[in-house]
Chain A
Amino acid sequence: MGTFDLLLQGLMAALEPMMLVYALIGVTLGTAVGVLPGIGPALTVALLLPVTYRLDPAGSLIMFAGIYYGGMYGGSTTSILLNTPGESASIVTALEGNKMARKGRGGPALATAAIGSFIAGLIATLLLAFIAPWVVRFALSFGPADYFALMVLAFITVSAAFGDSALRGITALFIGLGLGLIGIDLQTGQTRLAFGIPDLLDGIEVTTLAVALFAIGETLKVACSPTHLKEEVEAIKGSVWMTIEDWKRSWASWLRGTFIGFPIGAMPAGGADVASFLSYSAERNFSKHPEEFGEGAIEGVAGPEAANNASAAGTLVPLLTLGLPTTATAAIMLAGFQQFGLQPGPLLFANNATLVWALIASLLVANLMLLVLNLPLIGLWVRLLTIPKPWLYAGILSFATLGTIGANAAVMRIWGVSFSFELLLLLAFGILGYLLRRFGYPIAPVVVGLILGPMAEQQLRRALAISQGDPAVLFASPVAIVLYVVAALALLLPVFLRLRGRGQLLGQLATDED
């Protein structure tokens, strides 16, 4: 039987009423937890594992997949409207999305995120169904040296893409890199910069930093400038829906996002956040309206949102074909498979074909369901912006605090006083976020540094350890060389363009993305 017949058969199974109910529960729950900062799909799936033990395996796996897709989508809503990213993968969405929302274009921003996620999910799921075995071979060929080259590419394109002043951007990036050093070093087991505080042993949680810098920093800034409170925000200016112009500008970004997101999601050390960063810088380079970046460019929402959804599907490639979980959610879904006595891996497609194809088909169903659920709600969501500011920011503060405590329940006790260290961090980084804004430093590079820094360091050290210290290994594979060439182009092309007298355009990239 061909792949296509199997997929059709899977679709028949996934369209059974009970399966549809599971998918619906999954996407609804997923969207809800995606909205809450800190509480992500991984946590939700883990908490549901014992409950689903008694359910039918196909149904619960379909529900988990729905949660995963829903979470990827839900994170974008708060990013766009409240400048509070729910997941690390939707940090970039906040940059352009929130600017759009403030200009009364929240509706189109949400719509392009929803439709982009749908299209990316659709294409990526089909890719998963048809070319998974080849993709996985390609992903496995990536060694530590290649990953390091990928990180270098991400660093260069991302830091070049943020902010008007390279110096300020790089300063912010290095704050993030410094924060990334905190904690136990994976290669040697030694503690770095933790100052004897046990809560710092595992490093700084990315969501804590992101929520603090974006949400708390923003709240402090608003609170410190009374004029901000009086400023009227127009929730809707023009149409709530995307205009023809918006469609024209979005479709290519969706496709680019998809083709960046899917392979990176399939890589064992890739991830949705890396994919969304790369997509953002790609959009910035390809856009016909680079001057709008930092002011609310729709491409900057469409691309990264498509990329993070496509990478969610990409994650399922190594999970289903190799039994290799590449994200926290995938790891917990693996535990879910094992709970039902299924062993994902090369033999899963042979031994449990019906189940696998039903799962893949139900991803298509969940994807469509997300679109149907979310498009009509956009009109309602954007009304969030009309809430009076003091209430809105009070709400954001409680959201951020609850999410942070929910994800890190550890309580410290010093001199008889119990407190949550994570909340202290949230507050401290919130103040940092305020100061960065106050003095015109971009926020995003700090978070990017924290995410990419440790990855780059580990990959570099692994590569050098395997080669026993010979640096030639870094340039030994064709993949790495190609990535370095692309990085060099990304670095030199703007200089070249400026020399050709097109500097005016780049000069207008002046941004302040708070």
Chain B
Amino acid sequence: MNKLLLAALVTGALAQPVFAQDYTIMAPAAPGGGWDQTARTIQQVLQDEGIAGNVQVTNVPGAGGTIGLAQFVNQAQGNPSQLIVGGYVMVGAILTNQSPVTLDNVTPIARLTGESVAVVVPANSPIQTIDDLTAALKENPGAVSWAGGSAGGADHILAGLYAQAVGVDPTQINYIAFSGGGEALAAILGGQVTVGVSGYGEFASQVEAGELRLLAISGQNRLEGVDAPTLSEAGVDVVLENWRMVAAAPGITPEQEAEINADIAAMVESDGWQTALADRGWVDTYLAGDEFKAQLAEDIAATDGILRQIGLVQ
């Protein structure tokens, strides 16, 4: 209630008098997290660039985005002005929570950003390279404790994929879930765990300061200005990007879908969006339309496979 009022005041103050589509974007997470920031950046850029008229953001937090998703599917049916932000974490949450509503129930528009998951060890760890880590894991999988975000999230999936790729039984990995990258970071810096996996952004300043050693990143390509190989280069055949996307309501017409696609494409090309990405350290992984839908289906299948292997989905 208050949130809506505040949001209305805020957007009212910033809105420009343009005659364009209005949007309401749902961030299926609490204010401040990655999805919320994505939604609010979209809001800001769409308005500033005059691509859309009035854009509002609503937050419906809970259960890896599945609560927001369920409400979105229920309420937005056929409404072309409703958008929802989501991402890779939602794919896993839908599977582990056995959510009755899935991404098949929405109209995916585009993948916007992606973040590599980083594999780090404390600076004083005997593990120097990915090869050392692999050797330790093969010797005794239980003795290598992995710290990362909640069970079934991108970090956990990466640990599972890593084990699978080096020929270790993924059910044997000793994954310690923390409620957020920050708490995991504390355990890694304090030497409580062997290795840490989380978004590169969570570790960046510690890596630069030499407190953590970055072994590898999980993306397709190396990160600019970061001296670490990708996992594939280091000999572990895994590629994983924690992407974020925007989707539209179910049951909209192909014309409406094309219009939203055009608005999002215009946003991605704008200077405002590129500046915002640079400020926040997000990598542009824009992929839209049918290509995105195909990629999404592939990601869902892969995630389902690994979650079953780890034993999180029966």
What residues make up the interface of A, taking CB atoms closer than 8 Å to B? 36, 39, 42-43, 45-47, 49-51, 53, 139-144, 184-191, 198-199, 201-202, 268-269, 318, 322-326, 328, 331-332, 335, 338-341, 343-348, 402, 405-406, 408-411, 413, 458, 462, 465-466, 468
Contact = CB atoms under 8 A, between A and B. Distances in A.
Interface stretch (B131-139, B173-181, B258-266): B173-181
Contact of A49 (B4, B32, B281): B32
Nearest to B13: A51
B32 A198 contact: no
Contacts of B221: none
A413 B74 contact: yes
A346 B63 contact: no
Given A46-B31, A341-B279, A345-B206, A324 B40 contact: no
B143 interface: yes
A338 B280 contact: yes
Contacts of A53: 44
Interface in B142-167: 142-143, 145, 150-152, 156
Given A144-B192, A338-B281, A405-B1, A198 B67 contact: yes
Contact of B40 (A50, A268, A323, A343): A50
Interface in B244-269: none
Contacts of A335: 32, 37
B176 A466 contact: yes
A47 B6 contact: yes
Contact of A189 (B75, B96, B180): B96
Nearest to B311: A188
Given A47-B31, A184-B97, A413-B74, 19 more contacts: A141-B190, A184-B63, A185-B151, A186-B150, A187-B177, A188-B312, A189-B150, A190-B96, A191-B97, A198-B62, A202-B62, A269-B183, A322-B186, A331-B33, A332-B31, A335-B32, A410-B68, A465-B145, A466-B192
B206 A346 contact: yes
Contacts of A139: 186
A66 B305 CA distance: 48
B192 A409 contact: no
A112 B92 CA distance: 49
A272 B184 CA distance: 20
24 contacts: A39-B2, A42-B32, A47-B3, A49-B31, A49-B32, A142-B190, A143-B187, A144-B192, A184-B97, A186-B151, A186-B177, A189-B96, A190-B96, A198-B62, A268-B185, A322-B189, A326-B183, A328-B32, A332-B32, A344-B205, A405-B1, A410-B67, A410-B71, A466-B145
Given A46-B31, A331-B180, A413-B74, A201 B62 contact: yes
Contact of B190 (A143, A345, A405): A143
A36 B2 contact: yes
A328 B31 CA distance: 9
A331 B32 contact: yes
A186 to B, nearest CB: 5
A202 to B, nearest CB: 5
A268 B183 contact: yes
Interface string B78-109: 00000000000000000011010000000000
A429 B233 CA distance: 55
B150 A406 contact: no
Given A43-B3, A198-B66, A409 B97 contact: no
Nearest to A38: B2
Contacts of A202: 61-63, 67
B182 A201 contact: no
A413 B7 CA distance: 24
Nearest to B97: A201
A281 B114 CA distance: 47
A56 to B, nearest CB: 15
A346 B143 contact: no
A126 B186 CA distance: 24
Contacts of B152: 189
Contact of A50 (B10, B59, B96, B187): B10
Contacts of A408: 61
A450 to B, nearest CB: 15
Interface residues of B, number: 67
Given A47-B10, A202-B63, A406-B3, A140 B97 contact: no
B36 interface: yes
Given A186-B151, A189-B96, A346 B211 contact: yes
B201 to A, nearest CB: 8
A343 B182 contact: no
B294 interface: no
B54 interface: no
B230 interface: no
Contacts of A402: 1-2
B205 A189 contact: no
A331 B182 CA distance: 8
Contacts of A466: 145, 174, 176, 192-193
The 3 closest A-B pairs by CB, nearest first: A345-B205, A46-B31, A268-B186
Nearest to A341: B279
Interface string B31-56: 11100110010011000000000000
B239 interface: no
A465 B146 CA distance: 10
B143 A326 contact: no
B205 A326 contact: no
A498 to B, nearest CB: 40
A410 B174 contact: no
Contacts of B211: 346
Given A42-B31, A43-B3, A331-B182, A198 B99 contact: yes
Nearest to A187: B177
Nearest to B4: A409
A315 to B, nearest CB: 11
Contacts of B223: none
Contact of A140 (B59, B99, B179, B186): B186
B186 A318 contact: yes
Contact of A198 (B4, B70, B177, B208): B70
Contacts of A140: 186, 189-190
A456 to B, nearest CB: 14
Given A198-B99, A345-B209, A468-B142, A268 B3 contact: no
B195 to A, nearest CB: 12
Given A50-B10, A191-B97, A201-B66, A465 B174 contact: yes
Nearest to B41: A50
A266 B169 CA distance: 38
Nearest to A332: B32
A49 B209 contact: no
Most buried by A among B10, B145, B176, B179: B176
A312 to B, nearest CB: 16
A497 to B, nearest CB: 38
B3 A409 contact: yes
A287 B30 CA distance: 41
A410 B187 contact: no
Contacts of A341: 279
A322 B208 contact: no
B204 interface: yes
B60 interface: yes
Interface string B299-312: 00000000000001
